[in-house]
């Protein structure tokens, strides 16, 4: 349970470090597995916990975040937990208002329209003041996990957050945000720099609070082509890894592994392999062998079963997992979906996925 009467540090000893070993490239007996959006609406207990509460109010409650993070672990033998939160807490920390509109998703009441709107953003963000509730949720959850599995912290990446802040919500084309990159390149870099600086402090704060790995979500990479990605996404992705690592050292924090997940960015895999992250996450649109060839042997891969494969019968899920493991190999690899779980998925099929990864990887390792 998530009771708040625990000392901030003196965390329980970790019992299952398979995920961390795989992230660092050490040998594992089985391939570790977790799922993006594993704490989510596909679980009836999640919907029950969330029922009465506004979405962002839930994000601001350490006790609720802890409960939602732990729910999937009570059901499935997952090898990692990821803190329940949202990438849009960072634009909120910059002073923007975001509300969750039922049936529509996150919506900014006043998106950025003109370059002058950048002046409305907080130029200096005290992450502990603005995002301390996430740090509290991480510390509480780390204790409540009782060392069962490692806890992953995360943030959205600058371009993905910028695109939301300008579009005002989801978009199929990202035309408004991309038009800034072409029309206002300097202002775009100013905004991306501001975001990167907040993200760096935010990620370091998560490690100080107890996160044992970090994932950076560049969820909207697919809207950029190679040139725009090179100019407006990659430099900040690189800088975040470099700065977070140097601050972890400076503050004598554990050097936790970092994962970069840039959705639909196959065109950038070679660059991402050298961006300073221990793990590169993959979406479902690339062949395992192809990804391994581009990324090489020195980086761990994470992914990439098509989330919709979980709609298949359980036996079929097992076959698809086996094929995926044969493609990636069982070492220097963390099994996951190529994107998040969908709300209408059957929890039993999620269980079948997790168990298939463990069973098939153990079998492959023995033989």
Per-residue pLDDT reduced to its tens digit, 162-194: 999 999 999 999 999 999 999 999 999 999 999
86 an active-site residue?
yes
202 an active-site residue?
no
In angstroms, what CA-CA distances link 150 with 3, 60, 82, 123, 144?
19, 22, 8, 34, 12
Closest CA to 229 of 290, 176, 157: 157
Task: Answer whether 0.95 is exceeded by the pTM.
Answer: yes
Which residue out of 86, 117, 231, 306 is catalytically annotated?
Answer: 86
182 an active-site residue?
no
Tokens of 44: 């009836």
What's the mean pLDDT in 324-351?
98
47 an active-site residue?
no
- For the chain, domains (ranges, CATH) are 17-366 (3.20.20.210)
24 an active-site residue?
no
pLDDT tens, residue by residue, 100-159: 998 899 999 999 999 999 999 999 999 999 999 999 999 999 999 999 999 999 999 999
């Amino acid at each position: 349970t998530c009771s708040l009467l625990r000392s901030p540090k003196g965390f329980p000893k970790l019992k299952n470090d398979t995920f961390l070993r795989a992230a660092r490239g050490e040998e594992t007996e089985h391939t570790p597995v977790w799922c993006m959006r594993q704490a989510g609406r596909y679980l009836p207990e999640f919907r029950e916990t969330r029922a009465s509460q506004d979405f962002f109010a839930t994000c601001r409650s350490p006790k609720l975040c802890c409960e939602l993070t732990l729910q999937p672990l009570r059901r499935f033998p997952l090898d990692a937990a990821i803190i329940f939160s949202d990438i849009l807490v960072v634009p909120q920390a910059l002073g923007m208002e975001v509300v969750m509109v039922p049936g529509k998703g996150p919506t900014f009441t006043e998106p950025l329209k003109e370059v002058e709107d950048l002046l409305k953003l907080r130029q200096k963000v005290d992450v502990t003041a603005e995002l301390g509730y996430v740090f509290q949720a991480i510390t509480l959850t780390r204790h409540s996990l009782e060392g069962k599995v490692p806890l992953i912290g995360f943030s959205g990446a600058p371009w993905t957050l910028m695109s939301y802040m300008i579009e005002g919500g989801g978009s199929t084309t990202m035309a408004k945000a991309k038009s800034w990159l072409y029309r206002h390149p300097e202002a775009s870099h100013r905004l991306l720099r501001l975001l990167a600086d907040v993200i760096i402090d935010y990620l370091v704060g998560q490690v100080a609070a107890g996160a044992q790995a970090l994932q950076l979500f560049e969820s909207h990479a697919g809207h950029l082509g190679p040139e725009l990605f090179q100019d407006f996404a990659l430099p900040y992705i690189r800088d975040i890894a470099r700065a977070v690592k140097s601050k972890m050292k400076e503050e004598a924090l554990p050097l936790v592994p970092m994962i970069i997940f840039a959705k639909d960015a196959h065109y950038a895999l070679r660059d991402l392999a050298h961006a300073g992250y221990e793990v590169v996450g993959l979406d479902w649109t690339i062949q395992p062998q192809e990804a391994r060839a581009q990324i090489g042997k020195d980086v761990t891969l994470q992914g990439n079963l098509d989330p919709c494969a979980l709609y298949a019968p359980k036996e079929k899920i097992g076959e698809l997992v086996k094929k995926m493991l044969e493609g990636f190999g069982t070492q220097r690899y963390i099994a996951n979906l190529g994107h998040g779980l969908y709300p209408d998925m059957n929890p039993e099929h999620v269980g079948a996925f997790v168990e298939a990864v463990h069973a098939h990887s153990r079998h492959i390792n023995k033989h």
